[in-house]
A and B are shown apart, each in its own frame.
Chain A
Amino acid sequence: MNPSEAMNKSAGSARSIAQRYGLAVASIAVAFGLASALAQFHIPQTFGAFALSAIAVTFWYAGTKPGVLAALLSSVVRDFLFDPQTSTQSRLLFDLVFLVFALLMTQVLRHRNQLELRVAERTAELTQLNENLKREIAKHNQVEAELRLSEAYLAEAQRLSHTGSWAWSPPPGDIRYWSEECFRVQGFDPKGGQPRFDEFLQSVHPDDQARVAEVIQRAVREKEEFEFDYRIIHPGGEIRDARSFGHPILGPSGDLVEYVGTIIDVTERRQAEKERERLREAQADLAHVSRMTAMGELTASLAHEVNQPITAAVNGASTCVRWLTREDPDLGEAREAALGVIRNAKRAADIINRIRSISKKGETKRQLADVNELILEMIALLRSEAKRYSVSVRTELNAQLPKVMADSVQVQQVLMNLIMNAIDAMKDVDRERELTIRSQWADNRMLMISVGDTGVGLPPQQADRIFDAFFTTKLHGIGMGLRISRSIVESHGGRLWAADNSPHGASFHFTLAAPVEVGA
């Protein structure tokens, strides 16, 4: 409150005090005036009545203290101005009348004030109740609006995810709730109202009805969750794939109250899965064709590679026979030679198995694989090819590398492709022909395998095109090797790229994701 307002307020209350006491003086003055006037018309003794009225008026409108002042003024006016000659008894009697009247008025006033106070209190209470009620209504409206919004969002989410929700009480109950999306997925007209359970069952593909009914019946019997895939025949004849899931709600005593659950339209998802599967198959077929092409190019070298241990085995067998058929057979020497036969025959079988495993066509399967082992196996297979072109092979393998989750055949295909390209690039160069294969950490989550050569190097100005399909610098190449290698590496979460090797040749690098260490 600022000072001028405070002054206004005190001025206001001062005016109010002046008015109240002024009313006392004025009312008595009026009573005196009226009584004096009536006395002129010989109507005596009226002052008492007027004074009492004046006192009452003052009490009522101006309060107790002005009322008391009015009573005192009445006595004074009557005793000294109006009737100075009256007797002492009469004077005392009037004073007593005024006093008693004033006291009565005090009581009246008190009752009136109490009544007013009670009325004010009740009014305040009612106002408060009214306010509360208004607030409650506002809150209710807000909750209702929020609920409606939330319902709208939920309906939208159901529409987007093709997921409807429902509630169902098993017989003798029936479907209790059936969301908007349920109508759409199941192909029901919402105008037809909430469907019955038998209507739901009828909309299921005839071939699936018995199974669906059985799954549900068994779940109800066991009070367990259920989940089933089924087909729906829409009114237009379209067949949709759906999946339903139901969760039992049990009462406090373990009795089955109802099921709540979902219906999901999985038609598009199924189709996408089928597409992906077809694509995977096509990629695997292409990779297989590419592998077989590469193996075809290697036939001569592979035959040589198998022929070596067979030759050694035949030598060993001949030696063994010679030791046995001598005049004095030497069993010890014969045994040693026979052991050599076993060793070499096994080596031949190992090579054939390697060739077979890389030639086989099968679905891709990922398992933990040791990249160094894969590298060494592939080098063993391609050794003859390297030798054929006088290429020496050097390895720098980090023995500490963890195993990776990979399809071994596919990773070996990438290695075979890179090694064969490297040999091919060195066929016609006169300097030293060296193939270097490294395995190392790329960073703490990726392993890197590099194949470097001292060959002709990457085609200038076309280095970025070597990974394109059908790009080839070879006379008989089809240009799919690097393309397929890159897609294999990428499907393993890695990268395949090429770089110039210093001072000559090219190097190819690819990464494979290291498995996340469990409990480390």
Chain B
Amino acid sequence: MSCHKESKLVAIVDDDDSVRGTLQELLRSAGLPSQGFDSAEAFLGSGRQQETACLITDIRMPGMSGLELQARLNAERCKIPTIFITAHGDEEMRFQALRAGAVEFLPKPFDDEVLIESVRAALDR
């Protein structure tokens, strides 16, 4: 199975409602529409991974983690440009994510300019 990146959907996966909600608002203020999912499982179950042009995901979540989600998508040959946001990411985790194809690895809280630039870069690919 492969992904067809025809749309410009930005998906946000974070189990924290307020972080996810404010992130969507931030993107909206930059003119970037997005859809939020409260878990990796919810995202995978939505069937929208094919049309996702950029994925922003938390790493530590109940159930499947962000890194597991990335691996799963890679295994499905669905390489979505992924931006990781995490409150406690160490170097090893960062290295693992970037090696698996992540475009950015941002510690929370992050600079809005950096995030939005990364998202735009991903969408322009």
> CA A56 – CA B60 in complex, angstroms?
144
Asked if A392 lies at the interface with its beta carbon under 8 angstroms from chain B, I say yes
Asked if B33 lies at the interface with its beta carbon under 8 angstroms from chain A, I say no
Asked if A309 lies at the interface with its beta carbon under 8 angstroms from chain B, I say yes
Chain B hits for A388, CB < 8 A: 60
Asked if A139 lies at the interface with its beta carbon under 8 angstroms from chain B, I say no
Asked whether A323 and B29 contact (CB < 8 A) given A311-B19, A316-B22, A387-B60, the answer is yes
Asked if A427 lies at the interface with its beta carbon under 8 angstroms from chain B, I say no
Contact B25 A387 (CB under 8 A): no
Chain A hits for B28, CB < 8 A: 319
Of the candidates B15, B19, B60, which one forms a contact with A312 in the assembled complex, judged by CB atoms under 8 Å apart?
A: B19
Q: What is the CB-to-nearest-CB distance from B6 to chain A, in angstroms, rounded to a whole number?
A: 28
Chain B hits for A274, CB < 8 A: none
Asked if A333 lies at the interface with its beta carbon under 8 angstroms from chain B, I say yes
Asked if A142 lies at the interface with its beta carbon under 8 angstroms from chain B, I say no
Contact B62 A340 (CB under 8 A): no
Chain A hits for B61, CB < 8 A: 387
Of the candidates A303, A315, A392, which one forms a contact with B19 in the assembled complex, judged by CB atoms under 8 Å apart?
A: A315
Contact B88 A300 (CB under 8 A): yes
> CA A113 – CA B88 in complex, angstroms?
131
> CA A316 – CA B22 in complex, angstroms?
6
* CB-nearest residue of chain A to B30: A322
Chain B hits for A347, CB < 8 A: 18
**Per-position binary interface string of chain A over residues 395-409, scored 1 when its CB falls under 8 Å from any chain B CB and 0 otherwise:** 000000000000000
Of the candidates B25, B88, B108, B109, which one forms a contact with A319 in the assembled complex, judged by CB atoms under 8 Å apart?
A: B25
Asked if B73 lies at the interface with its beta carbon under 8 angstroms from chain A, I say no
Contact B19 A322 (CB under 8 A): no
Asked if B45 lies at the interface with its beta carbon under 8 angstroms from chain A, I say no
Asked if B87 lies at the interface with its beta carbon under 8 angstroms from chain A, I say yes
Contact A315 B88 (CB under 8 A): no
Asked if B63 lies at the interface with its beta carbon under 8 angstroms from chain A, I say yes
Asked if B41 lies at the interface with its beta carbon under 8 angstroms from chain A, I say no
> CA A201 – CA B43 in complex, angstroms?
88
Asked if B23 lies at the interface with its beta carbon under 8 angstroms from chain A, I say yes
Residue among A308, A323, A340, A392 with the highest chain B CB neighbour number at 10 A: A308
> CA A382 – CA B108 in complex, angstroms?
19
Asked whether A319 and B22 contact (CB < 8 A) given A311-B108, A387-B60, the answer is yes
> CA A307 – CA B18 in complex, angstroms?
12
Residue among A310, A313, A318, A387 with the highest chain B CB neighbour number at 10 A: A318
Chain A hits for B16, CB < 8 A: 308, 312
8 Å CB interface, B75-125 against A? 85, 87-88, 108-110, 112
Chain B hits for A304, CB < 8 A: 60, 87-88
Contact B108 A308 (CB under 8 A): yes
Contact A387 B15 (CB under 8 A): yes
Contact A315 B87 (CB under 8 A): no
8 Å CB interface, A370-393 against B? 386-388, 390-392
Contact B22 A312 (CB under 8 A): yes
> CA A310 – CA B18 in complex, angstroms?
10
Asked if B26 lies at the interface with its beta carbon under 8 angstroms from chain A, I say yes
Chain A hits for B18, CB < 8 A: 308-309, 312, 340, 343-344, 347
* CB-nearest residue of chain A to B29: A322
Chain A hits for B26, CB < 8 A: 315-316, 318-319, 322
> CA A197 – CA B60 in complex, angstroms?
81
Contact A315 B62 (CB under 8 A): no
Chain A hits for B60, CB < 8 A: 304, 387-388
Contact B88 A303 (CB under 8 A): yes
**Residues of chain A at the chain B interface (Cβ within 8 Å):** 300, 303-304, 307-316, 318-319, 322-323, 333, 336-337, 340, 343-344, 347, 386-388, 390-392
**Residues of chain B at the chain A interface (Cβ within 8 Å):** 15-16, 18-19, 21-23, 25-26, 28-30, 60-63, 85, 87-88, 108-110, 112
In the complex, given contacts A307-B108, A307-B109, A313-B22, what are 16 additional A-B residue pairs having Cβ atoms less than 8 angstroms apart?
A: A300-B88, A307-B87, A308-B108, A309-B18, A311-B19, A311-B109, A311-B110, A312-B21, A315-B25, A319-B112, A322-B112, A333-B29, A340-B18, A340-B21, A387-B61, A392-B62
Instruction: List 23 interface pairs A-B (beta carbons < 8 Å), by A numbering.
Output: A304-B87, A304-B88, A307-B109, A310-B108, A311-B19, A311-B85, A311-B87, A311-B109, A311-B110, A313-B109, A315-B26, A318-B112, A319-B25, A319-B26, A319-B29, A322-B26, A336-B25, A337-B22, A343-B18, A344-B18, A386-B62, A387-B60, A388-B60
